[in-house]
Amino acid sequence: MAYQLYRNTTLGNSLQESLDELIQRSSLRGCVTFTFSQSQQITPQLALQVLLQFDKAINSALAQRVRNRVNFRGSLNTYRFCDNVWTFVLNDVEFREVTELIKVDKVKIVACDGKNTGSNTTE
């Protein structure tokens, strides 16, 4: 089962919000005799399935389609390791990629154990 780690990213959040919208939405159907019926557009179950599919897709996309490296340096404010999940908060961090340098005052890193997941495929 793929990590659900990436649900709290821009991509994942926008998907969750969209799904929520569709769940909340009800479609109004009116007919001539002015009776209306409402039905959910999608069920929460279906939304869950979509999210699971998203987990698989994003995990595999990251593992296979991304090939770049980033370095960073900063000062560690807090660290936590609970339920096999690391959470760090760093301050005054510089992220360095080949092409650009990004500075942030504060960054929170959430990382799951990556040893058990399929290693990067060699293509």
Partner 1 sequence: MANSANTNTVPKLYRSVIEDVINDVRDIFLDDGVDEQVLMELKTLWENKLMQSRAVDGFHSEEQQLLLQVQQQHQPQQQQHHHHHHHQQAQPQQTVPQQAQTQQVLIPASQQAAAPQVIVPDSKLIQHMNASNMSAAATAATLALPAGVTPVQQILTNSGQLLQVVRAANGAQYIFQPQQSVVLQQQVIPQMQPGGVQAPVIQQVLAPLPGGISPQTGVIIQPQQILFTGNKTQVIPTTVAAPTPAQAQITATGQQQPQAQPAQQQAPLVLQVDGTGDTSSEEDEDEEEDYDDDEEEDKEKDGAEDGQVEEIHRSKNKWKFHLKDGIMNLNGRDYIFSKAIGDAEW
Beta-bridge partners for 93? 104
Q: Of residues 37, 44, 80, 117, which one binds partner 1 by CB under 8 A?
A: 117
36 binds partner 1 (CB under 8 A): no
Q: Of residues 37, 44, 80, 111, which one binds partner 1 by CB under 8 A?
A: 111
71 binds partner 1 (CB under 8 A): yes
2 binds partner 1 (CB under 8 A): no
80 binds partner 1 (CB under 8 A): no
- Residue 18 token pair: 């969209």
120 binds partner 1 (CB under 8 A): yes
- Residue 101 token pair: 């340098």
114 binds partner 1 (CB under 8 A): yes
How many angstroms separate the CA atoms of 112 and 47, rounded? 24
* Residue indicated by tokens 């390791």: 81
Q: Which 39-68 residues touch partner 1, going by CB under 8 A?
A: 41-43, 45-46, 49-50, 53-54, 56-59, 61-63, 65-68
Let me know: does 77 contact 93? Beta carbons within 8 Å.
no
Give the phi and the psi of residue 47 in degrees, each rounded to 5: -60, -40
Which residue type sits at 54? F
11 binds partner 1 (CB under 8 A): yes
